[in-house]
A and B are shown apart, each in its own frame.
Chain A
Amino acid sequence: MTVATCSACVAVPHDKIEQTIAAEHTLDLSVPTVHCAGCIGKIERGLKTLDGVQGARVNLSLKRLRVQYDGRQTIEDAVLDELANLGFEAHLLDGKVLTDKPDTTARGLLIRLGIAGFAAMNVMLLSVSVWAGADGITRDFLHWISAAIALPTIAYTAQPFFKNAWSALRVRGLNMDVPISLAILMASGLSLYETAHGGEHAYFDAALSLTFFLLAGRYLDHQTRAKARSAAVELSALEMPRAQKVSRGQVETVAIETLNVGDRVLVRRGARVPVDGVVAKGAGELDMSLLTGETMPASITLGDAVYSGTLNLGPSFEVNVTQIGQGTKLAEIAALVATAEATKTKYTTLADKAAQIYAPLVHLLALVAFLFWQFYTGDTRLAIGIATAVLIITCPCALGLAVPAVMTAASGRLYRAGILIRDGAALERLVDVDTVVFDKTGTLTTGEMTVVDAPKGAVLNLAASLAAHSDHPLSHAVAKLATAQDLPVIQDVMEHAGKGIEARSGSSRIRLGRAEWIGCKPVEGYVQTWLQIGETTPVAFLFEDTIKASSKDAILRLKARGLQVVMLSGDTQSATDRLAEKLGIERAVGGVLPDEKLTLVQSYGNHVLMVGDGLNDTAALAAAHVSMSPASAIDAARAASDFVLIKDDLTLIDACISLSKSAKIRMLENFAIAAGYNAIAVPIALVGLATPLLAALAMSASSICVSLNALRLTKVRGR
């Protein structure tokens, strides 16, 4: 290979050039089901055997996969196929949207945390010598060294608090960062003054350990949020789908954004329709469950409108594009989701509520202390010293840790149980839930069909060998039912899109399909397909939805909690009612459109938990007080949900509610612990007895207590 055609390249080593070339070709995928070391090994080893793949690395925290390859065009399909064979669902992510920049905020917080920790430990060591009895010039010397370490450290590491406090003050507001910044600044200023005047008390260690503990809380909080944000980025980066454009009889794969209205697009068997349009050639059978939630495919013929996101189960057909971009059904639903999110009432988190009470109270206390001592003794230095001690002691170190520590412990516990939490505050909201709304198809049912009534023996085998030629969900169910090893041989298989399938067995013609096509009267209330052999009387196969194994148990548990359970479905009312009766749900509404789902959910009050998986549920998920989606849900639904059930077990919902209750109790306990410390320490500070030693002890002890209390959540109680 001759790369060095220009003189500049000769100077660069050959393999360096190749590395640069190779590094440009990367592929990012979202792999939501990867969860352990086994998955990582399987994926990375499996992909490296593919031709053209140079490297593969799974990021387990973000559930993403990055593949490096040599730039060949076919790699995407090969990688997706290999992942499917390995048993992982994967989606391509748009590399343009995913910035390669690492999370700079997290990194900045970590660096600050490291520096603050280093400085706090050293200054604490020096303080111990002061407390141990150093005096005179030795004490001054130690204080000066402490100042030299502490002041630059605080100037750098406490910046996040200063910035937040400043932005709150600018709009004349108060947040938790205002008392924090004030305490840090006053402690540093006072200590510097004391040091310069050979004073006894310097609070450098307190100021530093305060910064350290608060940064730890901030980092934990940021990590929980970062996960949620990465899921949101994924949604906007998701699926840059391609379409098979047909022009002058030639099929060409193009990116979807290059299509125009009027272009013709080929939809292959098993592919999703990439655009909104009308059928221009051929006919087929579409799985519309993504849009409508209906289980049964709809048959489409020439001139019918089709929507992007629907799945072609029949033979391939061609579509004339009528809508692109913002005009598509998908974009309409996205807009609906946006309005639903905007109308949602804003929830004030416990931490915010605490800050609203806490910040003014602390400032008032410090002010009172200052005024009292100023007028009582007339000694301004003493008065400022006491006011500073009050601020340091009351500083919400424990409060800053109270919520993030519980959140981190809870999300870790949920993750191990098989639940991904996307919004930390959702755990608090889940406590108030009084109504649970389920979607039917895909959530309570598997979306597949089970046979209720069918002929047996030779007739069944014949039906099964015919069904093996179709992708229709009913055909899958029929084919699954037949247990015979060798099915009868059939010839001349012909598929009639939207009607059924036909073939010849020996001398007789056999047909499997819709009742109207076969020419018989359908059985009321069932999903069905009919088989006719020659001119004999047709026989029926009757089906119903397959209920997930955990559905019934999950609903029982939720009802035992006293929650109201409702089922909504885009399916017919009769099918919905039948399933509701089986599952023991009293309220079930069928035939619901996406926007009706949204209004229904809003009509059930302000504390609804919505569980759904389809695009038709997305707006309702976004509007609900809390929302969950199973792992099998489409990405838009997952992105709109607060929780994602990675394990396909609906009883996890109940477990999640239990955990949310204990998490809230832990948070309240943590606030109580913090308040308790203050109740003891504040009077001491007010009467002027607080020393740096006491401040350091009170602060560290309350922070450690709060963290340990949060850790109790990670323990799984045995039953």
Chain B
Amino acid sequence: MSVLLYLIPISLFLGGIGLVAFFWAIKSKQFDDPEGNAARILLDDDEDPN
């Protein structure tokens, strides 16, 4: 059962990465305009040809 000593920290670490990514998403305002962000992927990035 000593494998638990490795596995539990590893699972916590992996979950932690997800949690940090989620915090980053909140911080970079990705939840402030959900409808706008959903629509923006349909826009072309052709505003600046040069």
Contacts and interface: CB of A to CB of B under 8 A. Distances in A.
B26 A61 contact: no
Interface string A108-122: 001100110010011
A111 B32 contact: no
Contacts of B23: 111, 114
Contacts of B42: 37
A705 interface: no
B20 to A, nearest CB: 10
Contacts of A102: 29, 32
B12 A60 contact: no
Contacts of A58: 36
B33 A59 contact: yes
Contact of A40 (B4, B16, B29, B36): B36
A40 B40 contact: yes
A62 B37 CA distance: 12
Interface string A124-162: 011000000000001001100100010000000000000
Nearest to B21: A114
Contacts of A126: 8
Contacts of A111: 23, 26
A110 B31 CA distance: 9
Contacts of A114: 19, 22-23, 26
A36 interface: yes
Q: Among A45, A60, A110, A149, which residue has the most Cβ atoms of chain B within 10 A?
A: A60
B11 interface: yes
Contact of A115 (B19, B34, B39, B41): B19
Given A60-B36, A102-B29, A41 B43 contact: yes
Given A59-B32, A60-B39, A125-B11, A45 B47 contact: yes
A110 B26 contact: yes
A494 B19 CA distance: 73
B50 to A, nearest CB: 15
A61 B33 contact: yes
A36 B32 CA distance: 17
A476 interface: no
B16 A118 contact: yes
B16 A60 contact: no
B36 A121 contact: no
B47 A118 contact: no
Contact of B1 (A40, A106, A122, A138): A138
A59 B36 contact: yes
Contacts of B29: 102
Nearest to A219: B31
B24 to A, nearest CB: 11
Interface string A80-123: 00000000000000000000001100110011001100100110
Contacts of B19: 114-115, 118
Contacts of A60: 33, 35-36, 39
B17 to A, nearest CB: 10
Interface residues of A, number: 29
Contacts of B39: 36-37, 40, 60
A41 B42 CA distance: 9
A607 interface: no
A59 B11 CA distance: 38
Nearest to A129: B4
A37 B43 contact: yes
B4 to A, nearest CB: 7
Contacts of A469: none
Contacts of A125: 11
Contacts of A138: 1, 4
A268 interface: no
B26 A107 contact: yes
A377 B11 CA distance: 42
Nearest to B44: A41
B14 to A, nearest CB: 10
A87 to B, nearest CB: 17
Interface in A17-50: 36-37, 40-41, 45, 48
A118 B22 CA distance: 10
Given A114-B23, A141-B4, A106 B40 contact: no
A106 to B, nearest CB: 7
A41 B43 CA distance: 7
Interface string A243-279: 0000000000000000000000000000000000000
Contacts of B47: 45, 48
A153 to B, nearest CB: 11
Contacts of B22: 114
Contacts of A61: 32-36
A58 B29 CA distance: 14
Nearest to B1: A138
Contacts of A149: 12
A374 B27 CA distance: 51
A149 B34 CA distance: 31
Given A36-B39, A61-B33, 13 more contacts: A37-B39, A40-B39, A40-B40, A41-B44, A59-B32, A102-B29, A102-B32, A114-B22, A114-B26, A118-B18, A122-B11, A145-B8, A149-B12
Q: Would you list the 10 A-B pairs with minimal beta carbon distance, nearest first?
A: A60-B36, A37-B39, A37-B42, A114-B22, A60-B35, A118-B19, A61-B35, A59-B33, A61-B33, A41-B43
9 contacts: A37-B41, A59-B33, A60-B33, A102-B29, A106-B31, A110-B31, A122-B11, A125-B11, A149-B12
